[in-house]
Amino acid sequence: MAIAIRIARAATGRDMVAFCGYRGWHDWYLSANLGATTALDGHLLPGLDTKGVPRGLAGLMHPFHFNKLDEIEAIVAEHGKRLAAIVMEPVRSTEPEPAFIKGIRALADRCSAALIFDEVTSGFRINSGGAHLAYGVDPDIAVFAKAIANVFPMAAIVGRAPVMDAAQETFFSSTRARRPGRCACHFAQASRAERRQAFDADRHHIQKGWTEASQATGLPLAHQGNRQTDPDWPDWDCANTRRRLVDL
Ligand SMILES: Cc1ncc(COP(=O)(O)O)c(C=O)c1O
């Protein structure tokens, strides 16, 4: 994610970032809690401390909440000219409302900020690529990691040429950069993933196993996940299930 932010800043010559959700531990992200110490609360991990994060980064990060278009609209209205990037996951446990995800794309275009989709967790999970493909909205940069190399450590930062070209004018690397073995793992994984049915089969198999275990034991079960691509998704009564879990 840090590389994607670096590229967006290099491409735009701007420094501010609007973001939604958890994006990792790096300075760019944690700096949101400088000054407004609760800015990251409500974005997965509350109470994150900023010791060790340079104070000079204060004021660059602007949080908004998932499916709250009015929040990001307000940020763009106030800081649009300084926004290098708008960063979010296309989906996590909640489906994006079409007006939200399409509206974000339009807002990024309007203020010429890079739209970055964090596909670290969502990528290659519901389909053989970015989850954003299911919503018909393309980012300028997409970041993939967890599922792309069959648990081998690998990340891919991909995007449109006009933004990605800025990578030539800045620098990043890592101990594990350029390891062809991991790419081989990815291609082996991806060729399997391309058989779309594999995803459905795996998902249904796992759902079925959990459901049977729940029925056999009488233990309540709550599901979260993507419904859009899954017409057979059971209509779980999550609120009731949670209540029963508390009763247990
Ligand atoms: C959705 C998401 N984005 C970003 C990150 C951070 O990844 P990294 O620590 O490789 O920067 C994580 C890590 O768990 C994540 O789940």
- CA angle at residue 118 from 8 to 160, to 5 degrees? 45
1 CA: nearest ligand 1 atom: 11
CB-ligand 1 contact for 143 (6 Å cutoff): no
Residue 93 has, within 13 A of its CA and on its CB side, a CA count of: 8
pLDDT, tens digit, 9 for 90 and up, residues 212-237: 898 899 998 876 655 444 444 444 44
Tell me which residue has tokens 């275990």: 213
In the chain the beta strands, taken as DSSP E runs, fall at 16-19, 61-63, 83-88, 114-119, 141-144, 156-159
Pairing verdict, β 156-159 and 141-144: antiparallel
- Global pTM reads 0.83
Q: Whose CA is nearest to atom 13 of ligand 1?
A: 24
Q: How far is the CA of 120 from the centre of ligand 1 (A)?
A: 6
The closest of 130, 132, 128, 129 to 108, measured between CA atoms, is: 132
2 CA: nearest ligand 1 atom: 11
Q: What is the pLDDT along the chain (248 residues), one digit of tens a residue?
A: 999 999 999 999 999 999 999 999 999 999 999 977 778 887 877 878 899 999 999 999 999 999 999 999 999 999 999 999 999 999 987 889 999 999 999 999 999 999 999 999 999 887 778 999 989 999 999 999 988 887 788 899 999 999 999 999 999 888 877 777 888 888 777 776 665 555 666 667 777 888 889 889 999 887 665 544 444 444 444 444 444 444 44
CB-ligand 1 contact for 156 (6 Å cutoff): no
